[in-house]
Amino acid sequence: MSPPSSNEEDDLAAAWGASLEEEPAAGTDSARVLNQAEIDSLLGFDSEVTADNKSGIERIISSGLVSYERLPMLEIVFDRLVRLMSTTLRNFTSDNVEVSIDGITSLRFGDYLNSIPLPAMLAVAKAKEWDNYGLMVVDSAMIYSVVDVLLGGRRGTAAMRIEGRPYTTIERTLVERLISVVLRDVSAAFEPLCPVEFQFERLEVNPRFAAISRLSNACILVKLRVEMEDRGGKVELLLPYATLEPVRELLLQQFMGEKFGRDSIWENHLADELRHTDIALDVVLDEQPLPLSTIVNLKPGDRITLNVGPGAPVRLRCGEVPLFEAVLGRRENRLAVRIERELKRIGSEGVA
């Protein structure tokens, strides 16, 4: 094979130079500035990471997390939350609002803090009865949508997103009102299971200042998508497992009625029948210990002296259970008792 001539080398170099000059020209038409939503999408903030995409090390690390599916009652609670929010947000915004669940996952608190797309508002809420905290995150799209709706923005137009500046006092105040409404719905969603009140404590814009748990602790995350015609956004509720520990036994139930351990229809029927049950009451005048030899030697006609005086109070008992203290008397030709007070039982030993 003969080496290329100088003319062929010049032609080849000219062809390479022409191709290099054409590449930038072809890309100039498609060059444009990306907005924040597209940047978040490219960085993977909006994408769901499935278990199949995890490496072996990640699977080993996350194997210690408790799956929310082991607490089946949570799905019922969050489903009730969606229905409540759909109604309350319609009244709050005077607009058509649709709320849906994007997903319920278990993850570590530190991993979630690192994945929050900023800017966002993080509300720290305290579960009063459980003496622990939860976290609610409102993303920027939801913030601008709420501000636009509450301040009279036109319907059918997407809310404007102004990045690169801190949130104003008006925006924070309107979002706090939204958070208070949602927290009341969260309290109402848990009410059939266990009465609890979620109180709003503070609003943060920096995830580092919203640390309500250790970074390695496991948490439940429910992602709610709120749609208001062409506007909307996401609201995320994070509850550490430590917060749910007081009601863990209730969350393990398979259905709502199981938490009572009974059937309400059968319970009402049983209560009605018990009220019509006949029981025997004994009037106890006196009790005294006697030797067995004395009891064996008793004959008809023997007398036993009672250690009580006339008008002394007597006790009414049902079996071995003392119920009332009464006064013995007579009504017409029959003996009668008048109940004076109810005897309170103290354990199984005695009465008060």
Range of weakest confidence among 49-53, 177-181, 202-206, 265-269 = 49-53
155 CB-near residues (< 8 Å, 6+ apart): 95, 229, 230
Q: Summarize the confidence of residues 99-118 as an average pLDDT.
A: 85
Assess whether pLDDT exceeds 50 at residue 284: yes
pLDDT tens, residue by residue, 50-89: 445 656 666 665 555 555 557 778 888 888 899 999 899 8
Assess whether pLDDT exceeds 70 at residue 19: no
Question: How far, in Å, CA of 133 to CA of 242, rounded?
Answer: 9
Cβ burial of 246 (10 Å; 0-12, 13-18, 19+) is middle
**Phi-psi domain of 328 (left: phi exceeds 0; alpha: psi -120 through 50; beta: other):** beta
| pLDDT at position 27 | 47
247-275: string of b/e by CB count within 10 Å (b at 16+)?
Answer: beebbebeeeeebeeeeeeeeeeeeeeee
Range of weakest confidence among 122-131, 160-169, 298-307 = 160-169
Which of 276 and 20 is assigned the larger pLDDT?
Answer: 276
Query: Which range is most confident: 9-18, 178-187, 269-278?
Result: 178-187
Yes or no: domain 37-260 corresponds to CATH 3.40.1550.10:
yes
182 CB-near residues (< 8 Å, 6+ apart): 85, 88, 136, 235
Question: How far, in Å, CA of 159 to CA of 55, rounded?
Answer: 39
Range of weakest confidence among 18-22, 89-93, 129-133, 180-184 = 18-22
* Identical topology for domains 37-260 and 278-351: no
Question: How far, in Å, CA of 75 to CA of 83, rounded?
Answer: 13
Sign, CA torsion 114/141/167/176:
negative
Pairing of strands 231-240, 198-204: unpaired
Assess whether pLDDT exceeds 50 at residue 348: no
Assess whether pLDDT exceeds 60 at residue 301: yes
pLDDT tens, residue by residue, 114-162: 888 878 888 999 988 888 899 999 988 888 888 888 887 766 565 566 5
Question: How far, in Å, CA of 88 to CA of 179, rounded?
Answer: 12
Assess whether pLDDT exceeds 50 at residue 13: yes
| pLDDT at position 66 | 52
Question: How far, in Å, CA of 187 to CA of 194, rounded?
Answer: 9
Domains of the chain: which residue ranges?
Answer: 37-260, 278-351
| pLDDT at position 349 | 47
CATH architecture of 278-351: Roll (2.30)
| pLDDT at position 288 | 81
Question: How far, in Å, CA of 248 to CA of 65, rounded?
Answer: 15
Over the chain, what is the mean pLDDT? Answer: 77
110 CB-near residues (< 8 Å, 6+ apart): 215, 216
pLDDT tens, residue by residue, 259-281: 444 566 778 888 888 888 888 88
pTM tops 0.75, yes or no: no
Q: What does the DSSP assignment read for 200-269?
A: EEEEESSGGGG--S-TTSEEEEEEEEEEETTEEEEEEEEEEHHHHGGGHHHHT-SSGGGGGTS-HHHHHH
| pLDDT at position 56 | 64
Which of 324 and 43 is assigned the larger pLDDT?
Answer: 324
| pLDDT at position 237 | 92
Confidence of residue 31 (pLDDT cuts 50, 70, 90): low
Q: What's the CA angle centered on 163, arms 160 and 168, to 5 degrees?
A: 85
Residue whose token pair is 């004959």? 299
